[in-house]
Amino acid sequence: MLRLRNRPKPDPERPARRTALVAGVAACAVLATGTPIAYATLGSEAPVARATAVRGAEYVETRLFFGTERPDGGPDVTDPQFLAFIDRYVTPDFPRGLTIQDGRGQWRDSNGVVERERSYELILLYPASEARLRDPRIERIRAAYEKAYAQDSVARLDERTLADF
């Protein structure tokens, strides 16, 4: 009688792996042979890759995030107060337009406490060629809000983008 020693046990997943491998090889073969035939049926011209049309000019999108709770314990900034702030400090420097969105924010204050508050998001869009001119104006807006409403900070986010009007 013949005894087999240390023979590995059959792997139950082996047939599934083999099937997957055969299917993958077959798919590659079909794609490799089918692609030239498909192009041949389209006519004599070679296929041309077309890039998506690029629209718009280079702009900078600046987002400012204004909290409404005052760390000094004063009353929250109201909608009329915020809109008056926009009229006084933002509109003169950005007369072409802007967007204001209501939000809910969260951040860790200078004392390490996580604060949750109602907030405003101001979105400014301006030509990238004006970025150096606009930067000090935006910084004045941030400083004015921090001072007027006793805020620790006004967050700022800048992104280059394309815009078309």
Kindly tell me the number of DSSP H helices and DSSP E strands found in the chain.
3, 4
Nearest by Cα to 155 from 50, 39, 67, 58: 67
State the CB neighbour count (10 A cutoff) for residue 4: 5
For the cut 90, the answer to whether the pLDDT of residue 5 exceeds it is no
Q: For 23-37, what is the mean pLDDT?
A: 48
The pTM (predicted TM-score) of the whole model is: 0.66
**Whether the Cβ atoms of residue 123 and residue 61 lie closer than 8 Å to each other:** yes
Nearest by Cα to 148 from 61, 37, 59, 66: 66
> What is residue 67's three-state secondary structure?
strand
Q: For 103-107, what is the mean pLDDT?
A: 91
Which percentage of the chain shows pLDDT scores above 70?
68
104 vs 24, more confident: 104
CA-to-CA separations, 128 to 2, 18, 59, 62, 101, in angstroms, rounded = 84, 57, 4, 11, 23
pLDDT at position 9 is: 56
Residue 65 burial (C-beta neighbours within 10 Å; 0-12, 13-18, 19+)? middle
For the cut 60, the answer to whether the pLDDT of residue 59 exceeds it is yes
pLDDT at position 27 is: 47
